[in-house]
């Protein structure tokens, strides 16, 4: 490969690459505001100016292609002086409101001001004032004074979403961004401009003024809003999720996530009104048409589950797996059904149909249907539904789903004598169950999901319940720790006495004479990987933070 020299270091590059791209591939960051690897080159900000040997003046690294033998200086006295000058211009009219800005701690302008600015301004005139708190759309707020006109948001709408909604208006120091006449910033991916914005000009209306970045912990996970499985960060303060942001994974979601995933896949985790807080059982004396549930402890609830299961012939018991639950939960459920109860009737309710698009959003809104196929769990069909309606299945054991998703739900409920449910939120079905066992959500669990591309990916607990599992070495220092404060996310705000499904079923199984021997999800996964060919050789360590693509040739559906 051809090479060039950057600050005395010989670096290989691919023909056609720009200086900033070649440097990035070599692990060297050249400061930039307007450049982004997924967007076209704009060359607006000029902070990436570098000195190129034999060139008469500074060159912008984002638009200058590398040539064989080129000699570039990104940190020479001349390059630093050019960078200082650019920073001075950018800060002339920028408001000094870092103490109240949501972007503080994540702001490129703030970081570069400390690193590259001269620390003072020669500008003594009155700053240009512009409008603040402009609602660009339902999810994004705009502060004109903070904008540095990098055009990232404009290019994102045009090039990635394919729906131009933003543009520059006016000239010179009065330039600003507006939506096109009659339009709002309301595309399905509008909130990506918040991370794209290198300053605090574009902020989330949902997260605005809720917390500072150094007051939150960040946990790598995946979005459960559809079968895509976008990689995300879960941001938590006092054991409460405050926001979700996209995490780069070029094989799954690149740099983006949809607005639905950001706003609709975490609030139920915090919701004290709908979350099931403790185990519940139907009072023994309650007549069947009143369904009075009473709170109890876990031992009482598990004993009731065992008692109910022993009342029925295995042929009268059906198990319903969940495409919203982890591979580990469903694997243990299937193992329990076959090895302990002796039932081969296990199925799941298939996808929730929605809208599909050409970027990320999938029509299948269930995050782990593919994983259930790998486990050999089939979809519910007319034959199974018919048996339920005829009363052949008198006890239904279901995890993290609802029969209300079936068309003939009302008739099915009347045909069932006993319902044992693991779930995180209450609904009409929950109130008609015999035993209700509160389960941990994806944000409180360890485990794996398989997306529509047959890519297996990890989730990790970001918030805690009384029974949240913490694997050895699972949690590294968060931003909060790095700033020297005590990370107390595991002691504050615990509200729910929920347990992982696999753990509860394992305890019930042990009480019924079959000890699976699982102490944590890692052991469950290892057992699953040893039994399922397509997962052979995998471990949590192999899956890592970006997942592993499974071989389609080895998948047995």
Please report the pLDDT score of residue 472 as a whole number. 63
Strand positions, DSSP E, 115-208: 134-135, 140-142, 166-169, 176-179, 202-204
Highest mean pLDDT (candidates 106-115, 454-463, 485-494):
454-463
Calculate what percentage of the chain has a pLDDT beyond 90: 79
The pLDDT tens digits for 393-442 are 999 999 999 988 888 888 888 889 999 999 999 887 788 899 999 999 99
Q: Answer left, alpha or beta for residue 43, where phi above 0 means left and psi between -120 and 50 means alpha.
A: left
Please report the pLDDT score of residue 485 as a whole number. 41
- Give the residue from 237, 267, 245 showing the smallest Cα distance to 197: 245
Confidence of residue 325 (pLDDT cuts 50, 70, 90): very high
Please report the pLDDT score of residue 119 as a whole number. 76
Q: Do domains 98-103+125-270 and 280-443+497-522 have the same CATH topology?
A: no
3-state secondary structure of 197: coil
Confidence of residue 483 (pLDDT cuts 50, 70, 90): very low
Please report the pLDDT score of residue 492 as a whole number. 61
* pLDDT at residue 13 is higher than 70: yes
- Kind of pairing, strands 346-348 and 378-379? parallel
Q: Please give the structure tokens belonging to residue 185.
A: 């910033």
Q: Tell me how far apart the alpha carbons of residues 271 and 240 are, in angstroms, rounded to a whole number.
A: 10
Classify each residue of 250-285 as buried b or exposed e, where b means 16 or more C-beta atoms within 10 Å of its C-beta: eebbbbbbbbbbbbebbeebbeeeebbebbbbbeee
Which of the four CATH numbers 3.30.70.20, 3.40.50.150, 3.20.20.80, 2.10.109.10 does domain 98-103+125-270 have? 3.30.70.20
Three-state DSSP string of 370-421 = HHHHHCCCEECCHHHHHHHHCCCCCEEEEECCCHHHCCCHHHHHHHCCEEEE
Residues pairing with 5 in the sheet: 10, 71
3-state secondary structure of 29: coil
Q: Picking from 211-220, 274-283, 482-491, which range would have the lowest pLDDT averaged per residue?
A: 482-491
The pLDDT tens digits for 38-59 are 999 999 999 999 999 999 999 9
Please report the pLDDT score of residue 432 as a whole number. 85
* pLDDT at residue 129 is higher than 70: yes
* pLDDT at residue 556 is higher than 90: no
The values of phi and psi at residue 100, to 5°, are -115, 10
Please report the pLDDT score of residue 3 as a whole number. 95
* pLDDT at residue 167 is higher than 90: yes
Question: Domain ranges in the chain?
Answer: 3-91, 98-103+125-270, 280-443+497-522
Please report the pLDDT score of residue 414 as a whole number. 86
CATH code that applies to domain 3-91: 3.10.20.740
Neighbours of 14 (CB within 10 A): 11
Confidence of residue 528 (pLDDT cuts 50, 70, 90): very high
Q: Picking from 120-129, 318-327, 466-475, which range would have the lowest pLDDT averaged per residue?
A: 466-475
Q: What is the DSSP string of 208-276?
A: TTS--GGGSEEEEEE--SSTT--EEEEEEETTEEEEEEE--BTTTTBT---HHHHHHSSHHHH-TTTB-
CATH code that applies to domain 280-443+497-522: 3.40.50.740
The strand order across the sheet containing 231-237 reads: 217-222, 231-237, 240-246
Tally of helices (H runs) and strands (E runs) in the chain: 16, 24
Q: What does the mean pLDDT of the chain come to?
A: 91
């Amino acid at each position: 490969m051809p090479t060039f020299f950057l600050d005395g270091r010989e670096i290989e590059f691919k023909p056609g690459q720009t200086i900033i791209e070649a440097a990035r591939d070599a692990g060297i960051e050249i400061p930039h505001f307007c450049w982004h690897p997924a967007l076209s080159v704009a060359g607006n900000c000029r902070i990436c100016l570098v000195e190129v040997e034999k060139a008469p003046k500074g060159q912008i690294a984002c638009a200058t292609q590398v040539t064989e033998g080129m000699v570039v200086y990104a940190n020479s006295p001349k390059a630093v002086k050019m960078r200082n000058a650019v920073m001075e211009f950018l800060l002339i009219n920028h408001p000094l409101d870092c103490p109240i800005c949501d972007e503080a701690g994540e702001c490129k302008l703030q970081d570069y001001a400390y690193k590259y600015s001269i620390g003072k301004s020669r500008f003594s005139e009155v700053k240009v004032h512009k409008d603040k708190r402009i609602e660009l759309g339902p999810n994004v707020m705009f502060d004109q004074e903070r904008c540095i006109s990098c055009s990232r948001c404009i290019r994102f709408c045009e090039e990635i979403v394919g729906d131009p909604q933003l543009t520059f208006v006016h000239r010179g120091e009065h330039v600003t961004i507006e939506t096109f006449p009659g339009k709002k910033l309301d595309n399905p991916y509008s909130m990506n401009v918040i991370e794209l914005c290198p300053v605090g000009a574009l902020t989330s209306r949902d997260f605005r003024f809720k917390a500072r970045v150094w007051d939150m912990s960040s946990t790598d996970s995946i979005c459960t809003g559809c079968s895509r499985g976008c990689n995300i960060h879960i941001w938590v303060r006092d054991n409460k999720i405050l926001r979700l942001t996209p995490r780069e994974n070029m094989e799954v979601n690149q740099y983006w996530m949809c607005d639905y995933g950001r706003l609709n896949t975490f609030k139920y985790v915090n919701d004290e009104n709908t979350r099931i807080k403790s185990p519940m059982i139907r009072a023994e004396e309650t007549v069947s048409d009143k369904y009075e549930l009473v709170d109890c402890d876990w031992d009482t609830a598990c004993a009731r589950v065992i008692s109910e299961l022993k009342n029925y012939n295995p042929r009268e018991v059906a198990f319903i797996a969940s495409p919203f639950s982890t591979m580990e939960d469903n694997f243990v459920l299937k193992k329990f059904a076959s090895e302990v109860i002796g039932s081969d009737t296990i199925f799941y309710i298939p996808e929730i149909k929605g809208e599909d698009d050409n970027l990320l959003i999938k029509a299948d809104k269930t995050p782990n249907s593919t994983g259930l196929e790998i486990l050999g769990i089939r979809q519910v069909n007319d034959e199974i539904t018919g048996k339920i309606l005829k009363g052949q299945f008198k006890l239904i054991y279901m995890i993290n789903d609802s029969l209300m998703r079936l068309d003939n739900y009302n008739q099915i409920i009347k045909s069932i004598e006993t319902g044992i449910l693991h779930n995180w939120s209450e609904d009409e079905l929950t109130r008609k169950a015999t035993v209700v066992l509160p389960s941990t959500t994806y944000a409180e669990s360890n485990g794996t999901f398989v997306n529509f591309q047959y890519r297996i990916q990890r989730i990790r607990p970001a918030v805690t319940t009384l029974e949240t599992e913490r694997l050895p070495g699972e949690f590294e220092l968060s931003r909060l720790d790095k700033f020297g404060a005590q990370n107390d996310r595991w002691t504050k705000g615990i509200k729910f006495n929920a347990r992982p499904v696999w753990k509860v079923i394992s305890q019930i199984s042990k009480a019924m004479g079959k000890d699976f021997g699982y102490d944590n999800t890692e052991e469950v996964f290892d057992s699953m990987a040893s039994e399922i060919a397509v997962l052979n050789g995998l471990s949590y360590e192999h899956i890592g933070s970006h997942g592993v693509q499974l071989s389609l040739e080895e998948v047995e559906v």
